[in-house]
Structure 1
Amino acid sequence: MDAQTQLELEAAAFRRLQKHLMEDRTDVQNIDMMNLTGFCRNCLSRWYQEAANERGIDMTKDEGRHAFYGMTMDDWKNNFQTDATGAQQDAFKTAFKENVTDK
């Protein structure tokens, strides 16, 4: 497979993952994703932002989130986010430390 085809396939897989998380599975909470997998929608939006910044494109955290979510974080939270339980919050502290702050 040539490099351009690989790049196009990877981009298509990313777009499919994004659609799945943003349209098909809005019921899955970010905190549950982070606790189970070590990443969530916010991580994906941050990785998008970091990739832009690495290429000299100025993009803020909020702009990266809007690009990934297709809406503002406030809109996402109002439409889809539920309150986290104490157990979820406790698990998140560990998952965030292991997968973000200690990386």
Structure 2
Amino acid sequence: MTIDDIDDKYAAAAFRRLVRHLQHRQDAQNIDLMGLAGFCRNCLSDWLGDEAAGDIDKETIREAVYGMPYGEWKARQPAATPEQMARMSESVARNRGA
């Protein structure tokens, strides 16, 4: 079985659960998610926007993913350290071809 074999209703439920988890874990900064896994809340928003093919505007999608307006989320976040930026760059480089 591959991920494409899983019924969309289950995949959508898992996606919503992931988003709710990330909304709850506001202490998990995007820069750290990028440094560890090569994706963050913005990536999820962008992927959802790609799937929506323009049917939903970017700010609406971001608010749905973040659980608040994106500007409010961003204002709450501390500035990234040089170490976090370096980890993110290394991690994102591994995304090529994914």
What is the TM-score with the length of structure 1 in the denominator? 0.75
Q: What is the percentage of aligned positions where both structures have the same residue?
A: 45
Question: Matches of residues 78-93 of structure 1 in structure 2 within 5 Å?
Answer: 78-79=75-76, 81-93=77-89
Task: Identify the residue that residue 7 of structure 2 maps to in structure 1.
Answer: 6
**C-alpha distance in 2 between matches for 1:39 and 1:61:** 17
Number of residue pairs matched?
92
Q: Which runs of 5+ in 1 are unaligned?
A: none
1:65 is aligned to 2:62: yes
RMSD of aligned alpha carbons: 2.0
Q: Which one has more relative contact order, counting CA pairs under 8 Å at least 6 apart?
A: 2
Question: Matches of residues 1-103 of structure 1 in structure 2 within 5 Å?
Answer: 6-23=7-24, 25-53=25-53, 57=55, 59-79=56-76, 81-99=77-95, 102-103=96-97
Query: Shift in Å at residue 70 of structure 1?
Result: 2.6
**C-alpha distance in 2 between matches for 1:73 and 1:27:** 15
Contact (CA 8 Å) 1:44, 1:68: kept in 2 or not? yes
**C-alpha distance in 1 between matches for 2:28 and 2:66:** 14
Moved over 3 A (4+): none
What is the TM-score with the length of structure 2 in the denominator? 0.79
**C-alpha distance in 2 between matches for 1:28 and 1:20:** 10
**C-alpha distance in 1 between matches for 2:69 and 2:48:** 15
Q: Which runs of 5+ in 2 are unaligned?
A: 1-5
Q: 1 or 2, which has the higher helix percentage?
A: 1
**C-alpha distance in 2 between matches for 1:94 and 1:73:** 25
Query: Shift in Å at residue 47 of structure 1?
Result: 0.4
